[in-house]
Amino acid sequence: MIERFSSGFHPFVLPFLAGMVFVLGYCVYGIVRILFQLTGEDRRRFFLSLITPRTALKNIRDIFCDCLLHVKLWKRNRMLGFMHSSIAFGWFMLIVLGHVEVMLFLPERIRLFYYPIFFNFFVAETDSTIQGSLLFFLMDFFLLVVLVGIALAMVKRVRSRLFGLRRTPRPSLLNRVGLYALWAIFPLRLLAESFTAHISGGSFLTIPANWVFRQFLGNDLNMLPTWWAYSIALGVFMFVLPFTRYMHIPAEMMLIPMRNAGLKIRGARKGFARVQVYSCPNCGVCIDACPMSADKANLKDCTVYLTRQMRRGNERRIAEISDKCLLCGKCEAVCQVGVEGPKLRLMNRAERNYAVKADYSGVPVTALSEAARGGKVLYYSGCMSQLVPSIGRSMESVFRKAGVDYFWMDREGGVCCGRPMMTAGRLEEAAGIVRKNTEVILGSGADTMVVSCPICYKMFTEEYSLPGVRVVHYVNHMEELLQEGRLVPTRSDLCYVYHDPCELGRGCGIYEEPRRLLGRLAGIAEAEKNRSESVCCGGSLGSLTLTFAKREKITKASLENLYASNADAIATACPLCTATFARYADRPVRDLAEIVDRQTEGKLKPAEI
Partner 1 sequence: MMDFGFKLSKSATLDLDRADTGRYERLCALEPDARICMNCGSCSATCTAAPFSGMSLRKVILGLQRGQDVRPMLQGCMLCGKCSMVCPRGINTRHLILTLCRIYD
Partner 2 sequence: MKENVVVIGGGVAGMEAARQLLLLGYNPILVEQQDHLGGHVAQWNRLFPDMAPAGDLVRRLWDGITDANIFLETRVTSVNRLKDDYLVMLSNGVSISCRAILIASGFKLFDAARKEEYGYGVYDHVVTNADLESWFNGNESDRIPSAPRSVGFVHCVGSRDLKAGNSQCSKVCCITAVKQAIEMKERFPEARVYCFYMDLRLFGKKYEDFYIRAQQEFGIQFIRGRVSEVGETLDGRLQVKAEDTLSGKPLKVQLDLLVLMAGMSCNPDVAELARMARLDIDSDGFLRSLDNTAGIDVSNRPGIFYAGACTGAKTVPETLGEARSAALDIHRYLQGR
Query: 121 or 380, CB closer to partner 2?
Result: 380
Query: 140 or 591, CB closer to partner 1?
Result: 591
Among 334, 424, 451, 567, binds partner 1 (CB under 8 A): 424
CB atoms under 10 Å from CB of 270, counted, come to 17
Contact assessment for residue 581 and residue 555, using Cβ atoms and an 8 Å cutoff: yes
Q: Does 609 bind partner 2 (CB under 8 A)?
A: no
CB atoms under 10 Å from CB of 302, counted, come to 27
Write each residue from 535 to 574 as x if it is in contact with partner 2 (CB under 8 A), else as -, in one continuous string: -------------xx-------------------------
Query: 218 or 413, CB closer to partner 1?
Result: 413
Write each residue from 491 to 530 as x if it is in contact with partner 1 (CB under 8 A), else as -, in one continuous string: ----------------------------------------
Q: Does 130 bind partner 1 (CB under 8 A)?
A: no
Q: Does 316 bind partner 1 (CB under 8 A)?
A: no
Query: 59 or 381, CB closer to partner 1?
Result: 381
441 exposed, middle or buried (CB, 10 Å; 0-12, 13-18, 19+)?
buried
Rounded CA gap, 352 and 322, in Å? 12
Strands 406-408 and 589-591: unpaired
Coil, strand or helix: which one is 491? coil
Rounded CA gap, 576 and 558, in Å? 14
Which helix or strand (DSSP H or E) is residue 186 part of? helix 173-200
**Which of partner 2, partner 1, none sits in contact with 393, Cβ below 5 to 8 A by type?**
partner 2
**Which of partner 1, partner 2, none sits in contact with 578, Cβ below 5 to 8 A by type?**
partner 2
Query: 400 or 520, CB closer to partner 2?
Result: 400
Min dist CB 555 to partner 2, Å, is 12
Q: Does 582 bind partner 2 (CB under 8 A)?
A: yes
Among 19, 418, 454, 501, binds partner 1 (CB under 8 A): 418
Min dist CB 363 to partner 1, Å, is 5
Q: Which span sits near partner 2 by CB under 8 A: 20-28, 155-163, 387-395, 516-524?
A: 387-395
99 exposed, middle or buried (CB, 10 Å; 0-12, 13-18, 19+)?
middle
Rounded CA gap, 161 and 158, in Å? 9
Q: Does 579 bind partner 2 (CB under 8 A)?
A: yes
Q: Does 549 bind partner 1 (CB under 8 A)?
A: yes
Q: Which long-range contacts (CB under 8 A, 24 or more apart) does 312-320 make?
A: 318/348, 319/348, 320/545
Helix residue spans in 241-290 (DSSP H): 248-260, 272-279, 285-289
CB atoms under 10 Å from CB of 563, counted, come to 16
Q: How many residues of this chain interact with partner 1, rule: CB under 8 A?
A: 36
Among 48, 387, 431, 488, binds partner 2 (CB under 8 A): 387
**Which of partner 1, partner 2, none sits in contact with 326, Cβ below 5 to 8 A by type?**
none
569 forms beta bridges with 496
Rounded CA gap, 385 and 593, in Å? 11
Min dist CB 413 to partner 2, Å, is 8
Q: Which residues are CB-neighbours of 372 under 8 A, at least 6 positions away?
A: 378, 407, 409, 440, 441, 443, 444, 446
**Which of partner 2, partner 1, none sits in contact with 61, Cβ below 5 to 8 A by type?**
none
Among 212, 297, 387, 609, binds partner 1 (CB under 8 A): 387
Give the chain's length: 609
Q: Does 362 bind partner 2 (CB under 8 A)?
A: no
CA distances from 312 to 27, 201, 227, 309, 455 (A): 18, 46, 35, 5, 33
Rounded CA gap, 454 and 474, in Å? 9
Strands 495-498 and 448-451: unpaired
Q: Does 356 bind partner 1 (CB under 8 A)?
A: yes
Rounded CA gap, 502 and 454, in Å? 8
**Which of partner 1, partner 2, none sits in contact with 583, Cβ below 5 to 8 A by type?**
partner 2
Q: Does 420 bind partner 1 (CB under 8 A)?
A: yes
Rounded CA gap, 443 and 391, in Å? 26
Min dist CB 70 to partner 1, Å, is 40
Q: Does 426 bind partner 1 (CB under 8 A)?
A: yes
Query: 148 or 541, CB closer to partner 1?
Result: 541
Min dist CB 143 to partner 1, Å, is 55
Query: 513 or 552, CB closer to partner 2?
Result: 552
List contacts with partner 1 (CB under 8 A).
323, 352-360, 362-364, 383-384, 386-387, 413-416, 418, 420-421, 424, 426, 429, 433, 541, 544-549, 579
List contacts with partner 2 (CB under 8 A).
386-390, 392-393, 411-412, 548-549, 578-579, 582-583
